[in-house]
Structure 1
Amino acid sequence: MMFAGIPVFLYIVKQISGLDLVERFGQNTVFLSLSLVVNILTCLYIFNIVRTGYGLPVVSLGLTIRDWKSDVKTGLKHYLIILPVILASGFIVDFVLRAFGIDPEQQNIINNLLREDSSGVLAFMVFFGMFAAPIVEEILFRGFMQSAVRIIYDKRQTIFISGFVFALIHWNAHVFLQIFILGLLLAYLYEKTGTLVASITVHVCHNTTTLVFLISFKYFLKSHV
Structure 2
Amino acid sequence: MPNGPAQLSLVALEMTLLFGGAGFLLWLLVNARQRQRWLGTNALTYWEVSIPEFLMAAMLVFAGGFMVQAAVHSLAGPHLAGQADQAGLELFLYGAGFHGGILGGCSLFPLLRRRLYAEYGSQPPPLRAAPTLAWDRLLRYALGTLLVALPVLTVLSLGWTAGLRAAGLPDQPQDLIGVFIETRSPLVVTGMLLVACVLAPLSEELIFRAGLYRFIRQKLGRWPALLVSGVCFGILHGNWAGFLPLAVLGMLLALVYEATGSIRVPVLAHSLFNLNTILIVLSGLHDLSP
TM-score of the alignment, normalized to the shorter chain, above 0.5? yes
Aligned equivalents of 2:239, 2:219: Cα separation in 1: 28
TM-score after normalising by structure 1:
0.80
Q: Is residue 2:266 matched to residue 1:199?
A: yes
2:110 pairs, out of 41, 50, 55, with 50
Q: How far did residue 57 of structure 1 move?
A: 6.6
Aligned equivalents of 1:75, 1:105: Cα separation in 2: 28
Percent identity at matched positions?
Answer: 21
| Cα 1:57/1:204, change in 2 over 3 Å | farther
1:171 pairs, out of 222, 228, 238, with 238
Q: In the alignment, what sits opposite 1:22?
A: 80
Aligned equivalents of 1:222, 1:80: Cα separation in 2: 19
Q: Is residue 2:242 matched to residue 1:159?
A: no
Segments of 5+ residues of structure 1 without an aligned counterpart are none
Q: Is residue 2:96 matched to residue 1:36?
A: yes
Aligned equivalents of 1:48, 1:99: Cα separation in 2: 46
2:278 pairs, out of 205, 211, 215, with 211
Amino acid at match of 1:37: G
2:196 pairs, out of 102, 114, 129, with 129
Amino acid at match of 2:105: Y
| Cα 1:98/1:143, change in 2 over 3 Å | same
Q: How far did residue 100 of structure 1 move?
A: 4.9
Q: In the alignment, what sits opposite 2:54?
A: none
Amino acid at match of 1:203: H
Q: How far did residue 147 of structure 1 move?
A: 2.5
Q: How far did residue 185 of structure 1 move?
A: 0.4
Aligned equivalents of 1:208, 1:93: Cα separation in 2: 22
Q: Is residue 2:174 matched to residue 1:107?
A: yes
Q: How far did residue 171 of structure 1 move?
A: 0.9
Aligned equivalents of 1:115, 1:56: Cα separation in 2: 50
CA offset digits 1:169-196 (Å, max 9, x no partner): 1111121111011000011111111111
Aligned equivalents of 1:82, 1:30: Cα separation in 2: 30
Q: Is residue 2:213 matched to residue 1:146?
A: yes
| Cα 1:42/1:222, change in 2 over 3 Å | closer
| Structure with the greater alpha carbon radius of gyration | 2
Q: In the alignment, what sits opposite 1:10?
A: 73
Most deviating of 92-101 and 164-173 = 92-101
Amino acid at match of 2:215: A
Q: Is residue 2:96 matched to residue 1:96?
A: no
| Cα 1:27/1:104, change in 2 over 3 Å | same
Amino acid at match of 1:43: L
Tell me how large the CA RMSD over aligned residues is. Answer: 3.0
Aligned equivalents of 2:207, 2:219: Cα separation in 1: 18
TM-score after normalising by structure 2:
0.63
| Cα 1:127/1:58, change in 2 over 3 Å | farther
Aligned equivalents of 1:118, 1:21: Cα separation in 2: 17
